[in-house]
Homo-oligomer: A and B are copies of this chain.
C-alpha cells in the first residue's frame, strides 16, 4: 500500500480499514463478535466498534446481541462491478448449455494481476477442496483458465506476470520453472486451449479456451473441470474440447455485438 496514494498523503486510512472489516467476514466466519472483528481486521476493539456501527447505520451490517453479520446490501458493492461488465450476462446462458451438454462444472474467469477471478459459474458437483463462488481467485500460472489468459497477453506482459507470480508447487505436478511455463504458454497460444492436470489441486483436471472481445484480444476464459477419478486426460480432451471450443466461438460471436 506504500504507493502513490499512501506516500502522497492521499490515502484514506478509514476507508481501507472499513473495507478490511467487511472482508473479515467469510464462509467460516459469518457471525463475528466485536473482538473477532478487531482481531481479524487487525485493529483495536474501539476502532472495530466504530467501523461496525458505521456499516450498520449504512445497512451493510446487522447485529444481534453480541454478534455482527453482513447484510445482503453488501452485494451492491461487488455487483456494481459485475453489472458494469456485460460479460457474465452474456456467458451465463452459454455456461448453462455447456454444463448440460458435458454434465460437468463450467466456469468463466478474467485475469486480475497474477490471479484468475471467477465471474460466472455453473457447478454440477463439488470436486475442489475449496468452495468456488463468483469472486474466487486462484494463481493464474497453475490453472487452465489462467494459462489461456496469460497466453492472451502476449509474451512481454505474460513474462511480467510470471515474474510477479509466487511460483510455488501447489501439488507434485505444478510447473514452477519460468522457462517451462513460458514454453507451455507458447503451446497454449498456438493451439488455442489449455489442459491442466492436477497442478492446482491433486485429482482436478480442467480444460480452458479463451474468449475474445471485439478487437480480438482475449478478455476472459471459459473452462470445463472434472475429477481424475472420473475422467482420464484423453477423455477430457476428446469429450470436452469440441463442446468447449464451440461454446467459446458462440460467445465470441455475441461479444462482437456488444
Chain A residues within 8 Å of B, Cβ to Cβ: 1, 3-6, 8, 10-12, 14-19, 22-27, 29-30, 49-51, 53-60, 69-86, 88-89, 92-93, 96, 99-100, 110, 112-113, 117, 119, 122-124, 131, 133-137
Contacts and interface: CB of A to CB of B under 8 A. Distances in A.
Given A4-B57, A12-B14, A14-B14, A70 B93 contact: no
Given A15-B54, A19-B77, A53-B11, A72 B27 contact: no
21 contacts: A8-B53, A10-B54, A11-B54, A12-B18, A12-B51, A15-B17, A16-B58, A26-B80, A26-B83, A30-B85, A70-B81, A71-B112, A72-B135, A75-B117, A75-B135, A77-B77, A78-B78, A78-B79, A79-B134, A88-B133, A93-B123
Contact of A78 (B30, B53, B75, B86): B75
A5 B56 contact: yes
B133 A79 contact: yes
A122 B85 CA distance: 18
A75 B82 contact: yes
A54 B84 contact: no
A6 B50 CA distance: 10
B93 A54 contact: no
B135 A76 contact: yes
